[in-house]
Structure 1
Amino acid sequence: MAATDNDLLTDVAANLLTDEHRTVFRDLLQGALQQLIEEELTASIGAALHQRTDGRTGQRNGHRPPRTLSTPAGDVELAIPKVRKGNFYPSLLEPRRRVDQALWAVIMTAYVKGTSTRKVDDLVKALGVDSGVSKSTVSRICAEIDEHVEAFRSRTLAHTDFPYVFCDATYVKGRVGRHVVSRAIVVAFGVATDGTREVLGLDVGDSEDEAFWGQFLKGLKTRGLIGVRLVISDAHEGLKAAIRRHLQGVAWQRCRVHFNRNVLARVGKAHGEMVTVEGTR
């Protein structure tokens, strides 16, 4: 597609998102979502509105008060159908849907990076959620996402051997209490015997010293990490000491990427390309 076509599409999209047109799209979206809800009820009870079928399993009984759903086009009001026996609740309004998780991830990331609650509220409104987000909602969102993260971090690793394990760390700014400080994030991913790769674990601490790395590696073993023959990492002394202590008998190899970075940091810019080319041979 030509660049002019991309520019045209950009202009069209910008015009469609103005307040003048937003109402139209919100109404269209509301009608489509309401139709999806009614179709789901039809599938659930085995009959459409005013339809007689031998396989009917329930009867419609009006609607509950409307439920507000926040969308990029604005808030929409959706009526929830009732049935005479049993309960019905549309799946698209179930909590923790992926569309909600995506919005929640934006809120959580902004909050963790130190953005004030007021600015997070402005961000959410800019995304089309007219009601905004309160401080208690931000806390609830972060708590629910933490549940998913913790489930991933604590899952078992005993389903296969991981003969090769890569370890690394980085530092990012994060909120601790009322302050935003630098925090160490350590991560390990393994290569299984069939060649597949998998993130084994990650953790956050004050610094990547031997004690922190040791606790991290010990946790991987507790979760079932077995079959390790080689660990690849940078030459951080704390990490190397933790590997010797908690993964006894496992070989260690310096990561070539980190090694090349260390070398390039000690040579002049004029010779950097030559060193890089020679190092890749």
Structure 2
Amino acid sequence: MPISDKLIDQLLDGCDSPEDILGEAGLLKQLTKKVAERVLEAEMEAHLGYAPNDSAGNNSGNSRNGKTKKTVRSINGDVELDIPRDRNGSFEPKLVRKGERQLNGFDERIIALYARGMTTRDMTTRDIQAYLEEAYGVEVSPTFISQVTNAVMDEVKAWQHRPLAKLYPVVYLDCLVVRSRDSGVVQNKSVYLALGINTDGEKELLGLWMAQTEGAKFWLSVMNELKNRGVDDIFIACCDGLKGFPEAIEAVYPKTQVQLCIVHQIRHSLRYVNWKQRKTIAADLKLIYGAATRAEAEQALENFASTWDSEHPTISRSWRANWERLSVFFDYPVEIRKAIYTTNAIESLNASLRKITKTRRSFPNDEAVMKVLYLALHQASKKWTMPIRNWKPAMAQFEIIYQDRI
């Protein structure tokens, strides 16, 4: 409900300084108290079924029985509320439930801080404590912060096991490396992400999986999980040379084609090239992946080898070794090539996650990693409001090529 300017003018009448609005006895805290207590009175009226001093309450079997004071945390600081009671002791307010010490909205602030990378290690708990005390004048304990953020794990588990669509024409897979102290010793852990593009061209993160090492066995378990959650078919899986992945996906989804990321291949090719030669070699590589047909690309690769093998023999050797999966996109028209050409769709997501994880040298355990990444992904997905570029013509091509699988 919109608040009129006239009402705001009335509220601000007599407020001459920021302290009058934000201070201990300021307007915001008074409003929080008044509105909360009005809501609690309305809850009590709904519970009893009659208004204060209403004759309908005579011989009703229950009545109001005074109030008890309770201090709760809010985004405007600690607020002392008068909580109404009933004679039978059956009234349980929803705004501030029994045993709770915070108003709705306060937990969300802690979770938002956690999502930005403030984990509940000793040092970062102090970060959150200091921030809340400075910004809202509220003191909270490390135990309370942990209790709030631990509730996120229930969401993570439910999200990780939610049903998925039957078909994802394109799925991108990538890896993010974090450091976790889960076993008492800080170790590198790999977090794998699967980003699906559904038939409407919308991005959908299918899941997060953590492993210390990758391999066919690990990827087989991931593929079987997707299958059990309802994914019947994937047309093309785009990834960056994940060890054991092609074998695993072909075992579960034998019709799926694996496209290795061209951009990763280019980066690998230029890794040991003198900076003076980079521009020239990059231009020659573009003749390979930018060719109109597979035959033209293979000829461009031969030309590249004859030109550069004397100085950089490993480049053409790498392209030839991976050619079967690097050249998959040549089987498709331009509209689909633009969708599967690179794993940029998931790499941009990983870049936003790295901004959060790089601020911490390590996480206290694997659970903390999953909580932070889940919350960060939840925030990132709010921006996924449009289909990926060129999706409509790409999907039209898919419907023709895979009409028996749609």
| Paired AA for residue 243 in structure 1 | I
Q: CA separation in 2, counterparts of 1:195 and 1:58?
A: 60
Tell me the C-alpha RMSD between the 2 structures: 4.0
Does 36-45 or 227-236 show the bigger shift?
A: 36-45
Aligned pair 1:168/2:174, yes or no?
yes
Partner of 1:182: 188
Question: Which of 213, 218, 227 in structure 2 is aligned with 1:212?
Answer: 218
Residue aligning to 1:228: 234
* Displacement of 1:114: 7.2
Q: Which amino acid aligns with 1:23?
A: A
Q: Which amino acid aligns with 1:36?
A: V
Q: Distance between the aligned counterparts of 1:116 and 1:179, measured in 2?
A: 19
Equivalent position to 1:146, from 153, 169, 172: 153
Q: Which has the higher helix share?
A: 2
Distance 1:63 1:179 in 2: 56
Work out the CA distance in 2 between the residues paired with 1:155 and 1:195: 20
Look up the equivalent residue of 1:251 and give its one-letter code: Q
> How many Å apart are 1:150 and its aligned residue?
0.6
Runs of 5+ consecutive residues of structure 2 not aligned to the other structure: 1-16, 291-337, 342-406
Q: Decide whether aligned partners of structure 1 residues 81 and 235 sit closer, same or farther in structure 2, where only a CA change above 3 A counts.
A: same
Quick one: distance in 1 between partners of 2:43 and 2:205?
Answer: 37
Residue of structure 2 in register with 1:21 after alignment: 23
CA 1:160–1:238: 2 relative to 1, 3 Å: closer
d(CA) in 2 for partners of 1:148, 1:210: 29
Instruction: Indicate if the aligned counterparts of 1:107 and 1:138 stay in contact, CA closer than 8 A.
Output: no
Q: Distance in 1 between matches of 2:77 and 2:218?
A: 45
The counterpart of 1:61, out of the listed 32, 41, 64, is: 64
1:254 is aligned to 260
Distance in 1, matches of 2:19 and 2:160, equals 39
Larger RCO, structures 1/2 (Cα 8 Å, 6+ apart): 2
Contact 1:165 1:228 in 2 (8 A): yes
Residue 233 of structure 2 contacts residue 256 of structure 2 at CA under 8 Å; is this kept in 1? no
In structure 1, distance between residues paired with 2:37 and 2:65: 14
Q: State percent identity of aligned pairs.
A: 24
**Which structure is higher in strand share?**
1
Work out the CA distance in 2 between the residues paired with 1:244 and 1:185: 22
Deviations 1:127-184 (A, max 9, x none): 42633213x3344334321111111111222x54333222222123444255554322
Match of 1:12 in 2: none
On the 8 A contact 2:238/2:258 being kept in 1, the answer is: yes
The TM-score with structure 1 as length reference comes to: 0.71
1:238 aligns with 2:244: yes
Point out the structure with max Rg over C-alpha: 2
Q: Counterparts of 1:250 and 1:20 in 2: how far apart (Å)?
A: 59
Q: How many residues align?
A: 262
* Residues 1:121 and 2:121 are matched in the alignment: no
- Post-superposition offset of 1:251: 1.0
2:111 aligned with 1:111, yes or no? no
Letter in 2 for 1:229: F
Output one character per residue of 1:42-74: Cα deviation in whole Å (capped at 9) or x when no partner.
3454544334569xx986413553333212321
**Which residue in the other structure is 1:155 paired with?**
162
CA spacing shift, 1:173–1:114, aligned 2, 3 Å: farther
Structure 1: distance between partners of 2:181 and 2:72: 30
* Structure 2 CA distance for partners of 1:261 and 1:113, relative to 1, 3 Å: farther
CA distance in 2, matches of 1:259, 1:61: 73
